[in-house]
Structure 1
Amino acid sequence: MKKQFAVIGLGRFGGSICTELLEQGMEVLAIDKDEERVNEYAAIATHAAIADTTDEAVLKNLGIRNIDHVIVAIGDDIQSSILTTLILKEVGVHYITVKAQNDHHAKVLQKIGADHVVHPERDMGRRIAHYIVSKNILDYLELSDEYSIVEIKVNELLAGHSLIDLDVRARYGINIVAIKRGREIIVTPPAEAPLQSGDILIVIGADTDINRFEKKVLG
């Protein structure tokens, strides 16, 4: 059986999630209180509904408790986001992901039982900032407040050296988990093989250790 999703709030963030889930072949219930937005997705979503999700009876009538995963992507209305999340939890939705506007909003969502809280604007801002500041870091994904996965381009200082030569785990406490080489992704790369200029290292570790590696090795 296909996994069933519901997306509440069809703005840019919610709409993009809805579209991507549908492209991946999932069943999606698209919900918004704005009729125009719902009509935009009615032709492509599995089901679409105009609804006030702060009303428990409305959510129950939509059969929301039977949905595997609900994404609450409500925009600026923090009160509606919190109320909707609380109701979803109370009616027994299995897994709830919620978009947070700020850290205070996130704390409330976590306290009332949201399974996963995302900060799309904040996270994208951090990724762009890392890209702007460093000519070596191509992408950045925060795993927690202290740990990240980054993509680091192999420059002339690294090219020709092997992973054994670099010994990054012992020296810097980080792990190179894969190498992108053109369209190829080399998982668990051979330690003795020399790196090539243009390779992209996929590195996981503490932010402080990654920064130390970048400054000392990449210049």
Structure 2
Amino acid sequence: MNNRFAVIGLGQFGMSIALTLAERGAEVIAIDKELDKIEQVKEDVAVAVSLDSTDRKALSAQNVQEVDGAVVAIGEDFESLILTTVILQELKVKRIIARAANVQQRLILEKLGVEEILSPEETVGKSLAEMLLHPSIRSFLNLPDEYEIVEVDVPKRVANFTIADLKLRQEYDLNIVTIKRVFTEVEDGEEKEVKHIIGVPRPDTSLKQSDQLIILGKTDDINRFIESNQ
């Protein structure tokens, strides 16, 4: 896995993201203005650098424009978060995830065109790291003993397969909880797409490319299923 990410802002939230990504084998550029935070993480990530992320030249010098995704996790200075986000947009970073501490900050980020906005209260660092490494993962819930429940897009290689065809238990030691499926409904004379849970799937249930699977299993097994069927 050669994923490369920038994590800007190394508070508790950003630190958790950076360390989890690094543990999972990703190349991480960790950035913060405070040198002591850089010292804490420098042995665990590929690059740890102290700089002002509102300085476009400084960010560009770290080649952040080449990363697969950048997380702006600046917590205390929203102005710096906004300026950093705009610079990343100007540098055409492929994927930008920004932290919002409240509803007002979320609205401002939405106005800037940021599509992925989260709060530490909504997603812990480890969950976000998993979602960065596997963009097909829509949501993530940690359970004890290395188990987790994930909502994941149906991998391309298994679209049109049946549940039985997947052999989730035999080959991956996973259990499918349910399937989230898109249906077309008419409301006020207009058609719209709505997602519904289809209950406990039968072995002969056929998967659609637009479905999401809700899967229970261990982290390594879920990752193996996703990576081998992309």
User: TM over 0.5, yes or no?
Assistant: yes
Task: Report the Cα offset of residue 62 of structure 1.
Answer: 1.2
Question: Hey, what does 1:105 align to over in structure 2?
Answer: 105
Task: Report the Cα offset of residue 122 of structure 1.
Answer: 5.5
Alpha-carbon contact 1:72-1:81 (below 8 Å) kept: yes
Task: Report the Cα offset of residue 112 of structure 1.
Answer: 1.4
Question: Hey, what does 1:120 align to over in structure 2?
Answer: 120
Question: Hey, what does 1:13 align to over in structure 2?
Answer: 13
Task: Report the Cα offset of residue 3 of structure 1.
Answer: 1.2
1:94 aligns with 2:84: no
Q: Secondary structure at the match of 1:16?
A: helix
Task: Report the Cα offset of residue 58 of structure 1.
Answer: 0.9
Question: Hey, what does 2:206 align to over in structure 1?
Answer: none
- Structure 1 vs Structure 2: percent identity of aligned residues? 40
Q: 1:44 to 1:56 in 2, by over 3 A?
A: same
* C-alpha distance in 1 between matches for 2:69 and 2:140: 26
Aligned residue identity for 1:38: I
Question: Hey, what does 1:51 align to over in structure 2?
Answer: 51
Question: Hey, what does 2:73 align to over in structure 1?
Answer: 73
Task: Report the Cα offset of residue 190 of structure 1.
Answer: 6.3
1:28 aligns with 2:28: yes
1:185 aligns with 2:165: no
Aligned residue identity for 1:31: I
Q: Secondary structure at the match of 1:28?
A: strand
Question: Where does the alignment leave 5 or more consecutive residues of structure 1 unmatched?
Answer: 125-142, 151-182, 192-201, 203-219
Question: Hey, what does 2:82 align to over in structure 1?
Answer: 82
- CA deviation map 1:173-206 (0-9, x unaligned): xxxxxxxxxx973445566xxxxxxxxxx7xxxx
Q: Secondary structure at the match of 1:49?
A: strand
- CA deviation map 1:95-128 (0-9, x unaligned): 000110111111111221323000222668xxxx
Task: Report the Cα offset of residue 93 of structure 1.
Answer: 0.6
Question: Where does the alignment leave 5 or more consecutive residues of structure 2 unmatched?
Answer: 125-137, 142-172, 179-199, 203-213, 215-230
* C-alpha distance in 1 between matches for 2:34 and 2:44: 17
Alpha-carbon contact 1:86-1:113 (below 8 Å) kept: no
TM-score, normalised to structure 2, is: 0.55
Report which structure shows greater RCO (CA 8 Å, sep ≥6). 2
- CA deviation map 1:71-99 (0-9, x unaligned): 00001111111110011001111100011
* C-alpha distance in 2 between matches for 1:89 and 1:2: 23
Q: 1:69 to 1:122 in 2, by over 3 A?
A: closer
Question: Hey, what does 2:157 align to over in structure 1?
Answer: none
- CA deviation map 1:140-195 (0-9, x unaligned): xxx8xxxx999xxxxxxxxxxxxxxxxxxxxxxxxxxxxxxxx973445566xxxx
Alpha-carbon contact 1:76-1:101 (below 8 Å) kept: no
TM-score, normalised to structure 1, is: 0.57
Aligned residue identity for 1:185: N
Q: 1:149 to 1:74 in 2, by over 3 A?
A: closer
* C-alpha distance in 1 between matches for 2:20 and 2:115: 21
* C-alpha distance in 2 between matches for 1:73 and 1:190: 39
Aligned residue identity for 1:106: R
* C-alpha distance in 1 between matches for 2:119 and 2:201: 36
